[in-house]
Amino acid sequence: MTARLLTLAIAFVALATLPFWMSGVYYINVASQILLFAIFALGLNVLVGYAGLVSLGHAGLFGIAAYATGYMLQLGYGHSAAILVALVIGVASMAVFAVLSLRSTGIGFIMITLALGEILWGLAYRWISLTGGDNGINVPTRPAVFGYTLSMPNAFYYTTLIIFAVSVALVAVFVRSPFGAALRGTRDQPRRMNALGYHVWMIRFYACLFSGLLTSVAGILFVYYTQFISPQTLSLTSSAEVLLMVISGGPGTLLGPIVGAGLVVVVKNVVSGFIERWNFLLGTIFVAIVILMPEGLVPGTVRLWRLAWRKRTRAAPVAAKTEGSP
């Protein structure tokens, strides 16, 4: 446990001092991008990892929050009003999503969320009077918090870091709470949970709302980060990318989606310097991870590490049974 605390402390200090030892605006921006996508992945992981509900439409929700922010600003409202409205709209959309897609679980849930995500993409693309169509919406300014404008990369990075830390803490509390335990129960044994008197549908619904909140927060950060939003952000590719973050890192772990977000964002940024398109690589990584390391990188590495550690100390060979992928 102390080793774990130490690692956490080191990670925190490293993140907090990042702008001092990592010079260059480009790298700080990449770090902000990783953090904001990590929030997004954490939000999706609540459903994929802890509820066992795989959503392929989350980019649509992410996009709704981003578009809402952009549209409110375009109408001339202030930043705080725009952010507030975007949060409300994001969570409300998730509620509608949940009511429709929670009619089934497993494969049915995937199909319905995929279809809903495609609707949102289609709306963003075709409803030109509202969304600007392919031209998207520009967000000319970033807000100022307590007088500090976020237009500088460092200020934006620290804001993102604080929101990220709060999100991680929220998810950690959520997972350890009785509600989190009940949610994992509905993932593994929905019938038994029902028999025990839990309202399975309601538990899943609340989990969806929590996921929607984190997703909306990430969406708002995203639109302020790029200062631009277009239908591309809502495409199936984006939904798949964030799902890849969760699955590659390790669904149902706290650290997994964060590592996955780092991996995907870095690979995407590095690779885009060498090859024009990254979809082929995205697809290959997807297939490779699903077939070779289905439990994800973090649990997979932990398992290998423990295996090596046990061999060295010759402890009793307790099989480190990984939690089955949802």
Partner 1 sequence: MNFWLVLTVNSVTFGGLLFLLSAGFSLIFGLMRIPNLTHGSLFMLGAYIGATFVVGLLGFQLNFWLAAILAALAVAALGALAERLLLRRLPGDQLAQVLVTLGLSFMAADFCLMMWGGDPLNVTTPAGLGGFVRFGTLSFPIYRLTIIVIAMAVAIGLWLLLDRTRLGAMIRAGVDDPDMARVVGIRVSQLFTIVFALGAGLAAFAGIIGGPILSVYPGLDQDMLPLALVVVILGGTGSLLGSFVGSIIIGFIYNFGQALLPELAYFVLFMPMLLVLLLRPQGLFGRHVP
Residues forming the site for partner 1 (CB under 8 A) = 54, 56, 100, 103-104, 106-108, 110-112, 114-116, 118-119, 122-123, 125-129, 235-237, 240, 243, 247, 277, 279-280, 282-287, 290-291, 294, 325-326
Q: How far is the CB of 180 from partner 1 (least distance, A)?
A: 21
Report the residue number, 13 or 287, with the smaller CB distance to partner 1.
287
Report the residue number, 151 or 284, with the smaller CB distance to partner 1.
284
Report the residue number, 143 or 294, with the smaller CB distance to partner 1.
294
Q: From CA 226, how far away is CA 33, in angstroms rounded?
A: 9
Q: Are strands 148-149 and 228-229 parallel, antiparallel or unpaired?
A: unpaired
Q: From CA 248, how far away is CA 39, in angstroms rounded?
A: 15
- Please give the helix or strand (H or E) that residue 228 lies within, else none: strand 228-229
Chain position carrying tokens 């939690």: 323
Q: How far is the CB of 233 from partner 1 (least distance, A)?
A: 15
Report the residue number, 107 or 319, with the smaller CB distance to partner 1.
107
Q: Which residues contact 96 (CB under 8 A, 6 or more apart)?
A: none
Q: How far is the CB of 230 from partner 1 (least distance, A)?
A: 15
Strand, helix or coil for residue 149: strand
Report the residue number, 90 or 117, with the smaller CB distance to partner 1.
117
Angle at 247 between CA 310 and CA 249, to 5 degrees: 50
- Please give the helix or strand (H or E) that residue 194 lies within, else none: helix 190-195
Q: How far is the CB of 110 from partner 1 (least distance, A)?
A: 6
The encoded tokens of residue 29 equal: 């921006």
Q: How far is the CB of 183 from partner 1 (least distance, A)?
A: 18
Q: How far is the CB of 99 from partner 1 (least distance, A)?
A: 9
Q: Which residues contact 225 (CB under 8 A, 6 or more apart)?
A: 29, 32, 33, 36, 156, 160
Report the residue number, 51 or 217, with the smaller CB distance to partner 1.
51
Best CA proximity match to 96, nearest among 212, 235, 231, 221: 212
| Phi-psi group of 177: left, alpha or beta (phi > 0 → left; psi -120 to 50 → alpha; rest → beta) | beta
